[in-house]
């Protein structure tokens, strides 16, 4: 199983040529896994609604935090990052929107949209991200959510 996951991660990441020196370790759920990861329990004032899975929510925050969270709405299950210009690439920028639409830990409960723009003259023009980029980000979040679930000692 581990060999299969490594092979899948390699295949998925090889399809992402848009971020040349982007640190994929930040999206890799196994980087730094020697430290036990746990789900932070939301405080009493900010409980997640039943239609937002806490593991997918926390994994999305964990994986997208390095991009800079612009908006997070736990009521809607939506996290929107700020525009991020990859290191050394001043001509491209990305924004990611992750939406969680189920209280169950399922892959189809997560919807990831990647927006990409390229610099043209003095402005930004919308362009399509690489073909597998959205699914790569979604898979990294889902893998992190599974790790959080397996490490959660207070599972329901």
Among 123, 154, 152, 129, smallest CA distance to 59 is for: 152
Structure token pair of residue 116 = 């990409």
For 20-34, 59-73, 142-156, which range has the lowest pLDDT when averaged over its residues? 20-34
Say if 87 falls within a structural domain: yes
Give the pLDDT confidence of 53-76 residue by residue, as tens digits: 999 999 999 999 989 999 999 899
Q: Give the count of beta carbons closer than 10 Å to the beta carbon of residue 97.
A: 17
Say if 37 falls within a structural domain: no
Q: Give the count of beta carbons closer than 10 Å to the beta carbon of residue 42.
A: 13
State how far the Cα of 115 lies from the Cα of 146, in Å rounded to an integer: 26
Say if 104 falls within a structural domain: yes
Say if 95 falls within a structural domain: yes
Q: pLDDT band at residue 2, thresholds of 50, 70 and 90?
A: low
Among the residues of the chain, which ranges form H helices?
A: 2-14, 54-64, 133-151
Say if 81 falls within a structural domain: yes
Instruction: For residue 116, give its domain range.
Output: 2-18+49-151
Q: pLDDT band at residue 131, thresholds of 50, 70 and 90?
A: confident
State how far the Cα of 147 lies from the Cα of 63, in Å rounded to an integer: 13
Say if 82 falls within a structural domain: yes
- The predicted pLDDT at position 57 comes to 95
Say if 76 falls within a structural domain: yes
Number of domains in the chain: 1
Give the pLDDT confidence of 107-121 residue by residue, as tens digits: 999 999 999 999 999
Residue 93: which CATH number?
A: 3.30.530
Say if 75 falls within a structural domain: yes
Model pTM?
0.70
């Amino acid at each position: 199983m581990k060999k299969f996951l490594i092979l899948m991660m390699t295949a998925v990441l090889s399809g992402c040529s848009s971020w040349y020196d982007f640190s994929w370790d930040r999206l890799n759920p196994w980087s730094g896994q020697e430290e036990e990861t746990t789900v932070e329990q939301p405080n009493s004032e900010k409980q997640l609604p039943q239609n937002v899975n806490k593991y997918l929510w926390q994994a999305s925050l964990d994986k997208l935090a390095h991009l800079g969270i612009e908006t997070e709405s736990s009521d809607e299950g939506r996290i929107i990052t700020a525009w991020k210009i990859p290191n050394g690439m001043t001509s491209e920028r990305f924004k990611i929107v992750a939406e969680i639409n189920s209280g169950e830990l399922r892959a189809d409960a997560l919807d990831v949209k990647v927006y990409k723009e390229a610099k043209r003259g003095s402005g930004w023009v919308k362009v399509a991200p690489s073909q597998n980029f959205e699914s790569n980000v979604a898979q990294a979040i889902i893998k992190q959510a599974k790790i959080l679930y397996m490490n959660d000692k207070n599972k329901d």
